[in-house]
């Protein structure tokens, strides 16, 4: 068992079988962590680094996505044919890779923030709205 998965199991045992959603950063996130917490009765959303074993990073990384707010998803089905795990690539400023056993990739609310933009006569702050899937909305929220 990976160290991050073992730490998650120890930290979250009081909430086992509660069906809560656990959001984790890249230190704790892996396919193993997602499946382990699912077996414990918890749902999982985590940002993964691209070097994780069993995560389809080469396939997702090779996908060309046009603009900010685009995303692509891969879904793994269990033995009964129902989805049990998904991998999501979402493009914001950078590419973000998610592994999840919770949420969906339906369009979520727009991610809105201010950013600097070079304008004639100097830089100014402009509002930017980026579409995002629900899985990213829950994680970032």
Segment holding 134, helix H or strand E: helix 134-140
Domain count, the chain: 1
| pTM score, whole prediction | 0.88
Q: What is the DSSP annotation of 29-94?
A: --HHHHHHHHHTT-EEEEE--TT-TTS-HHHHHH----STT-EEEEEEE-TTSSEEEEEEEEESSS
Domain of 35, in residue numbers: 3-140
List, in sequence order, every residue forming a beta bridge with 130; answer none if it has no partner.
Answer: 111
Q: In this model, does residue 50 exceed pLDDT 70? A: no
Q: In this model, does residue 22 exceed pLDDT 80? A: yes
- The pLDDT assigned to 49 comes to 83
Q: What would the pLDDT profile of 79-115 be if each residue is shown by its tens digit?
A: 998 889 999 999 988 999 999 999 999 999 999 988 8
SS3 102: coil
């Amino acid at each position: 068992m990976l160290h991050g998965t073992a730490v998650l199991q120890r930290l979250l045992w009081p909430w086992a079988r509660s069906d809560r959603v656990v959001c984790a950063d890249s230190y704790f996130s892996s396919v193993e962590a997602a499946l382990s917490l699912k077996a414990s009765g918890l749902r999982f959303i985590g940002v993964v680094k691209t070097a994780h074993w069993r995560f389809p990073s080469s396939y997702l990384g090779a996908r060309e996505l046009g603009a900010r707010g685009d995303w692509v998803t891969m879904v793994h089905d269990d033995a009964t044919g129902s989805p049990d795990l998904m991998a999501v690539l979402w493009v914001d400023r950078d590419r973000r890779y998610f592994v999840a056993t919770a949420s969906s990739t339906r369009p979520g609310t727009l991610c809105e923030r201010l950013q600097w933009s070079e304008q004639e006569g100097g830089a100014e702050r402009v509002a930017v709205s980026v579409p995002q899937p629900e899985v990213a909305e829950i994680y970032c929220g």
